[in-house]
Structure 1
Amino acid sequence: MKLSDIEERDLKKGQPEKIEEKATVNILDVLAEEGISVQDLADTALEMYVPHPGLETREKADVLFKRELKYALSDPNLCLLIYSGVLLEREGRAGNLPNLSKSSYEKDLTFIIADEVLGTSIATYISGSKGAFEFVRFDKQKPGILANLGPFMDDVIGGLIGGVSSNMYSRGMAEFVEKD
């Protein structure tokens, strides 16, 4: 018997297929503790706003970005990826990262790429290759709050904004085409 022959249900018998109880911690509250608000995320995304069909104004883009953000953050897997970045940032500030001194963390050394991998993973998880491309744009420019965040959080939040803004543009254009 091959692993591919085993149904997923057989691997974890009795496990529910959905979350049965409400979470006690919301990722937006965690981000707020780090000084990051929904408006900060939207403002940062809109610093690189380019009009598109369906997103002809910044106001429309702001509404659609926030809608896409809410949708993205309804996924517990995405929230856990973001939370891992928050924890890495906190541990880095405290000097508790394995094999990395506090001084090295603070210098954001270019050969440490775990932060980039996390940002790329978040963007790709949200919206595939388009999200990864958007992450690179945000990572290079560091608009808005990205310029003020630590070595891990700038990439985590850059990945989140890149993935969400990519979906914002795709969905905005799709809704525009549907109207015609």
Structure 2
Amino acid sequence: MNIYKGKNEDNELFNNIQYYGDSKVFYITNPGYFFTMSDLSISNGIDLVKNIVIFSDEQNELDKMDLNSYKNEINKLCEKNKRINGTYIADIFKTSDYFVEHSENLSIINFPDTTNQNVNITKKLKVSNNTNGLNSSKIDLGQIIIINETLSIEELIKFHKIAIESKITYFKYKKLPEHIDETINNNEFLIIACPIAKSLIGSDTNNINHLLNKSLLPEKGKTKIENIQKEIATTMVLSCKNFLENYDINFGILDYIFAEGISLDELVDAGMELCVGVEETQEIRDKLKKQLLRSLEDINVIALLMSAIRCEEDFQNKRIREVNIEDDPAYLYTDEVLGIAIANQIAGTKATFNFKRYDELKPGILSELGPMVDDIFAGLVAGSMSKIFEPK
């Protein structure tokens, strides 16, 4: 997969369908026409056009424009560009980067845009961080899908729906941290298009009624349609997968802890509440914080924490019919088993006795957590507290 970063380049997709991209504009043009379905600003939803155009606004110059001014600006940009001849659908996206995924019958041109960065906390731990703050975080993937087959409007709508559902299903399957999941594809765009020969259009390009009648279009067998459906789903998944991998959009244990509404400082506070016989000092707090991070580098601790986090999510969403945790049933003690295991993994047998205190009293943030995760974090805190007081 090649990522083109504002590269001046002409390429061909199918049968003289050309695309061009530079740091300011990306467009696809066709000797005939494109039959399109899209959510672009300059679009009627379903259109018959010569060009598909995406301008770049990496400097965020158009963010504050009202909708009419925004549309006028897009039209001006199209009129100024000598390469764009004839009718078009168009919009503006934040990046000039793009990459293309191909299959036998279609291509997906992907426009990735993200503010997500992974910041080192320790040598082994990272946390996802947004350069503009969480409220303006974005992980967007705009897409143009070109299907190399003349389609009816019914087929166009059907394939558009499949593309959307495939994308949603992929990100849902990833089970990303909740605060990250809320930032995904809030400002994306999706265009699905197919070539239409001039001979099928006639002189009136504003009249697409004849495209409603499948009998007037080249005949496609059932197998062909099924193959295109499968290709949309598989190529969409590949596009999303490569987007996340090549832009280093991945998440670690700290991201999943923060998604539970827990900060490291709150875990330190909870640990210090039950610290007896020792005066609380900044030095001890710093030691505990460092140990918590050291504990979170242990793959076994990570596995136990994620087991409980995933389990609670399944229980809360009632995915297991035999389980109801609304009343925190007394006979559910797996959370304690996991908590004891975490404490023991960090600091051995003595930490399991310390866990009992944190489990029963639930100081600080521990009292606000769900029935599965309260005990695992009690185990993390108890184990880390026991560890920092071990003789050197």
TM-score, normalized by the shorter chain, greater than 0.5: yes
| CA gap 1:119/1:97 in 2 versus in 1, 3 angstroms | farther
**Is residue 58 from structure 1 mapped to residue 284 from structure 2 by the alignment?**
no
In the alignment, the residues of structure 2 paired with residue 93 and residue 134 of structure 1 have an alpha-carbon distance, to the nearest angstrom, of: 28
Query: Is the contact between residue 272 and residue 280 of structure 2 (CA under 8 Å) also seen in structure 1?
Result: no
Q: Can you give the 5+ residue segments of structure 1 that lack an aligned partner in the other structure? A: 1-21, 176-180
CA deviation map 1:41-91 (0-9, x unaligned)? 101101112244xxx433121011011111111112211110111111111
**Is residue 143 from structure 1 mapped to residue 325 from structure 2 by the alignment?**
no
In the alignment, the residues of structure 2 paired with residue 72 and residue 168 of structure 1 have an alpha-carbon distance, to the nearest angstrom, of: 11
In the alignment, the residues of structure 1 paired with residue 276 and residue 313 of structure 2 have an alpha-carbon distance, to the nearest angstrom, of: 34
* Structure 1 residue 23, shift from structure 2 partner: 10
With normalisation by structure 2, the TM-score equals 0.36
Query: Is the contact between residue 271 and residue 381 of structure 2 (CA under 8 Å) also seen in structure 1?
Result: yes
Per the alignment, residue 273 of structure 2 pairs with 47
Higher helix share: 1
Per the alignment, residue 78 of structure 1 pairs with 301
Residue of 257, 277, 300 corresponding to 1:31:
257
Query: Is the contact between residue 49 and residue 58 of structure 1 (CA under 8 Å) also seen in structure 2?
Result: no
Q: Which has the larger radius of gyration?
A: 2
**Is residue 90 from structure 1 mapped to residue 316 from structure 2 by the alignment?**
no
Per the alignment, residue 182 of structure 2 pairs with none
C-alpha RMSD over aligned residues: 2.0
Query: Is the contact between residue 46 and residue 58 of structure 1 (CA under 8 Å) also seen in structure 2?
Result: no
Per the alignment, residue 383 of structure 2 pairs with 163
Per the alignment, residue 111 of structure 1 pairs with 331
- The one-letter amino acid of 1:71's match is R
* Structure 1 residue 134, shift from structure 2 partner: 1.0
In the alignment, the residues of structure 1 paired with residue 369 and residue 249 of structure 2 have an alpha-carbon distance, to the nearest angstrom, of: 27
In the alignment, the residues of structure 2 paired with residue 23 and residue 114 of structure 1 have an alpha-carbon distance, to the nearest angstrom, of: 32
CA deviation map 1:97-135 (0-9, x unaligned)? 36213xxx0111111111111111111111111110111
Secondary structure in 2 matching 1:106: coil
In the alignment, the residues of structure 2 paired with residue 126 and residue 97 of structure 1 have an alpha-carbon distance, to the nearest angstrom, of: 31
Q: Can you give the 5+ residue segments of structure 2 that lack an aligned partner in the other structure? A: 1-247
In the alignment, the residues of structure 1 paired with residue 335 and residue 269 of structure 2 have an alpha-carbon distance, to the nearest angstrom, of: 22
Query: Is the contact between residue 88 and residue 97 of structure 1 (CA under 8 Å) also seen in structure 2?
Result: no
The count of residues paired between Structure 1 and Structure 2 equals 146
Query: Is the contact between residue 355 and residue 379 of structure 2 (CA under 8 Å) also seen in structure 1?
Result: yes
In the alignment, the residues of structure 1 paired with residue 319 and residue 378 of structure 2 have an alpha-carbon distance, to the nearest angstrom, of: 24
Alignment of 1:116-131 (within 5 A): 116-131=336-351
Higher strand share: 2
**Percent identity, aligned pairs only?**
34
Per the alignment, residue 10 of structure 1 pairs with none
In the alignment, the residues of structure 1 paired with residue 382 and residue 319 of structure 2 have an alpha-carbon distance, to the nearest angstrom, of: 29
**Higher RCO (CA-CA < 8 Å; seq separation 6+):** 1
CA deviation map 1:154-178 (0-9, x unaligned)? 11100111111110121xxx35xxx
State the 4+ residue runs in structure 1 displaced beyond 4 angstroms: none
* Structure 1 residue 25, shift from structure 2 partner: 2.2
